[in-house]
Amino acid sequence: MERAPLLELQGIRKRFGGLEVLKGVDLRVYPGEILALLGPSGCGKTTLLRVIAGLEAPDAGRVLLQGQDVTLLPPERRGVGFVFQDYALFPHLSALGNVAFGLKGKDRLQRAQKALERVGMTLFQNRKPHELSGGQQQRIALARALAPGPKLVLLDEPFSSLDAGLRAATREEVRKVLKETGTTALLVTHDQEEALSFADRLGVMRGGELLQVGTPEEVYLRPRTPFVAQFLGRTN
């Protein structure tokens, strides 16, 4: 791919006490693509997302967004939206209030309504989070992340708390919204099937290292290491 990457990670390292959680991660994410980071629990996926979001400073390495070094910028100045695993909606605010919360300007409510419409939640805009199902809360969280028009959204295990029946449908809807809005997304999951069906490309991580990045087909058919093959279920 010759296009300029939207996000570029160069040699990202992070240590917590004696534990090296990220051991020099390089990655390029291109405009409009959905890239899934896949790997077992504890391999550093969430930490990597937090470094990209600016919630965690790397010990070494750089984060570039559209070619600009944002390694030292605070989260709110990066133009990155994120959806946490537990959605982290404000319990006392309505769905509309949650989506409008971070927006500025006179038209913030209209923009929040538009974001809710995109995820099919217009009818639920006055409900509080506890009056919504897991899948509905997930969509509100996505609307909130997308409402400011971020360059990039980071999704940390966004479907993991949904039951299996709801998961595939929600995933499909989220994929549609990302593609319709042309939003670039980086998703973290430990679910092979999810990564293979949701992402345009995937990266397999293990112990703080990114072992392989490629299309689901490339990674599945031509795993670079025995671990990648085994993790994708090739040897089962």
Does 21 bind ligand ADP (CB under 6 A)? Our answer is: yes
Find all residues with CB under 8 Å of 221, minimum gap 6, and list them.
none
- The pattern of x and - marking residues 25 through 64 that bind ligand ADP according to CB under 6 A reads --------------x-xxxxxxx-----------------
Binding segment (CB under 6 A) for ligand ADP, from list 13-21, 85-93, 141-149, 216-224: 13-21
Nearer to ligand ADP (CB atom), residue 47 or residue 113: 47
* Secondary structure tally for the chain: helices H, strands E: 8, 10
Nearer to ligand ADP (CB atom), residue 129 or residue 203: 203
Compute the least distance from the CB of residue 185 to ligand ADP, in Å.
17
Pairing of strands 201-206, 60-65: unpaired
Nearer to ligand ADP (CB atom), residue 25 or residue 174: 25
DSSP 91: T
Nearer to ligand ADP (CB atom), residue 18 or residue 67: 18
Does 16 bind ligand ADP (CB under 6 A)? Our answer is: yes
d(CA 131, CA 128) in angstroms, rounded, equals 5
d(CA 98, CA 185) in angstroms, rounded, equals 21
Q: Where are the alpha helices (DSSP H) in 75-131?
A: 95-100, 108-118
User: Which residues of this chain interact with ligand ADP, rule CB under 6 A?
Assistant: 16, 19, 21, 39, 41-47
